Amino acid sequence: MKFLDLCKVYIRSGGGGNGCISFRREKFIEYGGPDGGDGGKGGSVWAEAVDGLNTLIDFRYQQHWFAKNGQAGKGQGRTGKDGDDIVLRVPVGTEILDEDEETVIADLTELGQRVLLAKGGNGGWGNLHFKTSTNQAPRRANPGQEEINRTLWLRLKLIADVGLVGLPNAGKSTFLAATSNARPKIADYPFTTLHPNLGVVLVDGKEMVVADIPGLIEGAHEGRGLGDLFLGHVERCAVLLHLIDGSSGSLIEDYQTICNELEAYGAGLAEKPRVTVLNKIDTLDAEEREFLKEELELAGAENILLMSGASGEGVTEVLRALRPHVEAKREAEKPVDPDAEEETWHP
């Protein structure tokens, strides 16, 4: 399945059916009177977050979503049939934006969450509706409300607890493959990761979802390399895992490049909790490890951990360092029960 995280859709709600002008004409009934029914309601367009999806690729091949119109009213007081609603089934984490690509209409972050995108038009009243004691033969009926046309953008931001950031070949995919059942592409050249990958990691009996995004390079916020197109997928994360290639000859420059790109992207990424890890230490001896760690500390990095995704050394310690941030965010997002009684202390 191809990965797609941004697409344009065209939606249209159904128009309401017209009211009917009709008079009852039956044998042996002297005074027939009006009997025109109301028009049916047009169908609405909804969006719903469903399980089992992690891409918007379906909307690449079906961009137009039109609900059905309501049927017109009929004689004998019969109301027209309502138009059927249609539902856009999207992955959890989908943002729905207006045509300007800036105004957020809805953010579907929970399974089963629904939002009304375009309401169907009400049906028009038939002439039976206008019958009064002074107007017993009305010859008027209302037209149904018109449909609503909208152009929207769907943008997917994957729901993950931990976001992996770093330069290409920093070892992000190796780390994800070593700690989860995910099987991202791993090779000895830059940009082997071309789209985000998700993996479920287990540490001390607790699960975390880790997102691996394509590597950043200097100038990514200006569109260089793959740009910062995929940084949106780590906006929702509780903590960022910044991996640095210990075998690189430009360690400090690599660290500062990622920091600068996160700052330039905005959206609060630079302020997120971050765990900095010196990776690929299997290629370093003890003296080199200590020297590089001190260099990173002088450059501003804090609480640096050492790890080798290939050999597994230090991996568990890194996962345990991530867990408190993930649990803190989950605790903060727990819904508050308004019916829960406040505990009172009695001496």
Would the annotation count 247 as a binding residue?
no
- Is residue 54 marked as binding? no
192 is in an annotated binding site: yes
Quick check: 318 and 307 in contact, CB under 8 A? yes
* Residues in a beta bridge with 241: 164, 275
179 labelled as ligand-binding? no
Q: Tokens for 224?
A: 């260089």
29 is in an annotated binding site: no
Q: Is 193 annotated as a binding residue?
A: yes
Distance CA 164, CA 286 (A): 26
143 annotated binding-site participant: no
C-alpha 139/C-alpha 130 separation (Å) is 9
The annotation status of 268 as a binding-site residue, yes or no, is no
213 is in an annotated binding site: yes
Residue 281 among known ligand-binding residues: yes
Using the 8-state DSSP alphabet, how is residue 343 labeled?
P
Check the annotation: does 308 bind a ligand: yes
Question: Is 166 annotated as contributing to ligand binding?
Answer: yes
296: phi then psi, degrees, rounded to nearest 5: -65, -40
Contacts of 115 (CB under 8 A, 6+ apart): 46, 47, 96, 105, 106, 108
Q: Is 280 annotated as a binding residue?
A: yes
Query: CA 101 to CA 295: how far, in whole Å?
Result: 42
Residue 312 annotated as binding? Answer: no
User: Can you say whether residue 268 is alpha, beta or left, with left for phi > 0 and alpha for psi between -120 and 50 degrees?
Assistant: left
Was 219 annotated as part of a binding site? Answer: no
Helix (H) or strand (E) segment spanning residue 329: helix 315-332
The answer to the question of whether 296 is labelled as a binding residue is no
Question: Is 167 assigned a ligand-binding role in the annotation?
Answer: yes
Strand partners, 240: 163, 274
**Range list of β-strands (E), 166-294:** 197-203, 206-212, 239-245, 274-279
* 238 marked ligand binding residue: no
Instruction: Quote the tokens at residue 141.
Output: 């009926």
Gap between the Cα atoms of 235 and 322, Å rounded: 16
Q: How many CB atoms lie within 10 A of CB 148?
A: 19
Give the CA-trace dihedral at 22, 23, 26, 31, to 10 degrees. 170
311 annotated among ligand-binding-site residues: no
Contact yes or no for 295/249 (Cβ under 8 A): no
Any binding-site annotation on 204?
A: no
Residue 172 in marked binding region: yes
Residue 191 annotated as lining a ligand binding site:
yes
**Is residue 181 part of an annotated ligand binding site?**
no
- Tell me: is residue 215 an annotated ligand-binding position: yes
Note the Cα 36 to chain centre separation in Å. 47
Please state the residue numbers annotated as binding site: 166-173, 191-195, 212-215, 279-282, 308-310
Annotated binding site for GTP: 166-173, 191-195, 212-215, 279-282, 308-310
Binding residues for Mg(2+): 173, 193
